[in-house]
Amino acid sequence: MTRLLRFLWVPVFFSALCAHAEPYLAVQMGLKCGQCHVNPTGGGERTAFGNIFAQTQLAATRLDTGSDVWTGQVMKFLSIGGDVRFDATYSQVPHASSTDDFEVQQGRVYASANVIPERFYVYVDEQVAPGGALNREAYGVYWSANHDWYIKAGQMYLPFGFRLQDQSAFVQQISGINMTTPDQGLEFGFEHGNWDAQVAASNGTAGGPETDHGKQYSAQLQYVMSRWRFGVAGNFNDASAGSKSASGLFAGLRTGPISWLGEVDVVDDRSTPTLSGRQLATLLEANWRIAQGHNLKLTDEYLDPNRSVANDAETRYSLVYEMTPIQYVQIRAGFRWSDGIPQDPAEHLKTGFVELHGFF
Amino acid sequence: MSPRGFPFVAGSLALALSACAGNGMGLDANGNPITAGGGSTGPLTADFKSIQDNVFTPICTKCHIGAGAPEGLQLDQTHSYAMLVGVPSAEQPNVLRVAAGDPDSSYIVLKLQGSAGISGARMPFGGPYLPQSTIDVIRQWISAGAANSTSATNAATAKAAQRFTVTASSPDPDSIATTVPNIVVAFSSDVDPNLLNATMVSLEKLDASNMDSTEPMPMSPMPMSPVPAGAASRSVAITLAVPHGDGTALLITPRTLLSSGTYRLTIRGNFADMNAQALGADYVLKFTVEAP
């Protein structure tokens, strides 16, 4: 082991481990998302801390690279990162032919220029696959001297509940806030001790052009302990056609090798006559760390698309095994099955997939 | 397996199985309560209402609905047509979401097919993707002009007894005018703006004595209305528009000032209104321009 790597391992071992891309890892390690991600609200480029964690704690086996240790930094003031997910998927919907296909599900590159070290950086998240390039995030962040608050301006993902890897989860679907729907605006963040909070004002068009004077306001408050965390989130989108409001509670708990995530979101959308009632979505996820580099994820989701209509609920269950055999390479295999009203075949989707996930 | 793992996984399984999906009683295929006369969407056909009922509403509005819909695109019944047809894509503003008559240049088709050159993910997001047969129906609807049959259905009862006809024109039929900067034809109901093209509407100059005019020669290969024996005709370049605020009128503007002579405006019999009611027969307006 080189001197450099020993130096980099120190904070990992002596801070009771740390978080990575998925919130269950943050819960498992009892740290905030910004510990391992450049973005204080999580997702995207990993910090040097996150990169060392990926090499030493996430992988079952670390291939020795000698003195060459990837930390994301390619120049003095510039660091990069990326994610590529390649899927083989089998899907079955009643009354339709099953499909199976290979697909580059996602290819993203991240870059951040630390223009004023520790105080100001410019960040870009570019989706490069599938299809043509598409900018997801582009913003600047100014940190206070002691890193207890920051201001972010540009195009960004909004803070609202857990930032899950599965963008099609019900809780992400009904709120409309996920990593495919960035918005343009401002975010103020506060981090002090166990507290973590964000307030944001944005156009409220989810990447589309602004069409009115109304704005979208998001707020989130979270208390993070080493074994548990609890948060509340709210969102209000003042659109010309009517408002949409969302509120959520989310919590994490570590019990031995199991990390639990729970989230409950309620949405009241008055911006379209089609939706006349409140929507409710819940998520319960158990992540069992069988051994280093091996995780079994079980997820239970519930969606009531209209609280004032009976018999219309949908459920979705997922069983996913995640193996990280070596650093920066992950293999995920899983099965998802949905259940809903018999009249709608799309609510009875069954999907099996194997995913190769490369990241850095 | 860690001994501590068993109770938690078992508890998780029990909790997962305790949440039940709805049985769908009293609901239509889109999960809405069945109302009198409602409840059936019918098979998928190449008209907008059918595509709305069978594709956009049950599949796309899972995400594309309300304030904050992805890319600002709302695909519920109230907004979808207005946000699709002739509207630039937010991801690629130089490409229309639906280019009437041209499915290969319509971004919605490219996104549904996962074609090369799209930005972002193939739709529906995360799959399952639409079968090619369903995409073909959407292509067929676009090829046919991407008409809005939803409004046709909503207004069908009121419009059933009203034929789509020409109610007035300026200049008047067989009139003589000194200058005609533009021609206005009024109809009994809103015209379908997707049908404003050179195939549907043409203007010809019939007067053989003006063949030395600088107006362009005929370019359209389409069959023309019978020309009176002995009369030469040539096409006049025109611009077509529906005046803002009056959907029942058609504004025809010659691209060059009409010189002296006799002109014939022809509107094809399959020109239709927003309820997909066609004229039925060609409408012909003849008028003469004389030097003052």
Domain residue limits, chain B: 41-154, 158-214+231-289
Tokens of B288: 């003469």
Closest CA to A164 of A183, A176, A174, A179: A179
- Per DSSP, the three-state class of B102 is coil
A 10 A CB-CB count for B153 gives 17
Q: Does B181 contact chain A (CB < 8 Å)?
A: no
pLDDT digits (tens, 9 = 90+) for B257-274: 888 889 999 998 889 888
- The answer to the question of residue A293 being in a domain is yes
Percentage of chain A exceeding pLDDT 90: 72
> Predicted confidence band at A5 (pLDDT cuts at 50, 70, 90)?
very low
Is B78 in Cβ contact with A269 (below 8 Å)?
no
Interval B108-121 mean pLDDT: 88
Is residue B221 pLDDT above 60, yes or no? no
Question: Could you give the CA distance from residue A33 to residue A163 in angstroms, rounded to a whole number?
Answer: 9
List beta partners, residue A229: A224, A252
What pLDDT score does B288 carry? Answer: 86
pLDDT digits (tens, 9 = 90+) for A37-59: 999 999 999 999 999 999 999 99
Question: Could you give the CA distance from residue A154 to residue A122 in angstroms, rounded to a whole number?
Answer: 10
> Predicted confidence band at B291 (pLDDT cuts at 50, 70, 90)?
confident
Is residue A13 pLDDT above 60, yes or no? no
pLDDT digits (tens, 9 = 90+) for B135-180: 999 999 999 999 987 655 555 544 555 688 888 788 888 878 777 8
Question: Could you give the CA distance from residue B198 to residue B215 in angstroms, rounded to a whole number?
Answer: 16
Find which of B15, B23, B83, B92 to mutate to test the A interface (most A CBs within 10 Å of its CB).
B23
Whole-structure pTM value: 0.71
- The answer to the question of residue A288 being in a domain is yes
Between positions 182 and 201 of B, the ones with CB within 8 A of A are: none
Lowest model confidence (mean pLDDT) among A32-46, A245-259, A313-327, B140-154: B140-154
A 10 A CB-CB count for B71 gives 20
Is residue B281 pLDDT above 60, yes or no? yes
Query: CB-side exposure of A149: number of CA atoms within 13 Å?
Result: 5
Cβ contact A268:A280 at 8 Å: no
Q: Does B20 contact chain A (CB < 8 Å)?
A: yes
What are the backbone angles phi and psi of residue B77, rounded to the nearest 5°?
A: -55, -35
What pLDDT score does A23 carry? Answer: 92
What pLDDT score does B48 carry? Answer: 92
What pLDDT score does A80 carry? Answer: 97
Closest CA to A83 of A108, A49, A110: A108
Which uninterrupted H or E stretch holds A309? none
pLDDT digits (tens, 9 = 90+) for B12-58: 555 555 568 888 888 887 777 886 555 556 788 999 999 998 899 88
Is B68 in Cβ contact with A205 (below 8 Å)?
yes
DSSP code at position B54:
I
Of the spans A218-232, B16-30, B231-245, which averages the highest pLDDT?
A: A218-232
ipTM of the complex: 0.76
> Predicted confidence band at B229 (pLDDT cuts at 50, 70, 90)?
very low
- The answer to the question of residue A95 being in a domain is yes
Q: Which residue has the higher pLDDT, B10 or B260?
A: B260
If you count them, how many residues does chain B have? 292
Question: Could you give the CA distance from residue A216 to residue A236 in angstroms, rounded to a whole number?
Answer: 6
Closest CA to B187 of B283, B264, B254: B283
Question: Could you give the CA distance from residue B203 to residue B263 in angstroms, rounded to a whole number?
Answer: 7
pLDDT digits (tens, 9 = 90+) for A148-184: 999 999 999 999 999 998 888 999 989 888 888 899 9
Residues of B in contact with A344 (CB under 8 A): 24, 29-31, 58
Interval A265-294 mean pLDDT: 89
Find which of B4, B8, B80 to mutate to test the A interface (most A CBs within 10 Å of its CB).
B8
Closest CA to A216 of A177, A248, A254, A189: A177
Percentage of chain A exceeding pLDDT 70: 93
What pLDDT score does A259 carry? Answer: 96
What pLDDT score does B214 carry? Answer: 40
Domain B158-214+231-289 -> CATH class: mainly beta
- The answer to the question of residue A221 being in a domain is yes
Question: Could you give the CA distance from residue A329 to residue B215 in angstroms, rounded to a whole number?
Answer: 68
Whichever domain contains A123, its CATH number is 2.40.160.10
Residue A103 contacts by C-beta under 8 Å, 6 or more apart in sequence? A86, A87, A89, A130, B122
What pLDDT score does B9 carry? Answer: 52
Question: Could you give the CA distance from residue B43 to residue B49 in angstroms, rounded to a whole number?
Answer: 11
Q: Does B121 contact chain A (CB < 8 Å)?
A: yes
Interval A216-225 mean pLDDT: 96
pLDDT digits (tens, 9 = 90+) for A188-198: 999 999 999 99
Of the spans A117-126, A344-353, B3-12, which averages the highest pLDDT?
A: A117-126
Range of the domain at A94: 77-359
Residue A25 contacts by C-beta under 8 Å, 6 or more apart in sequence? A19, A36, A58, A259
**B120 min Cα distance to partner chain A (Å):** 6
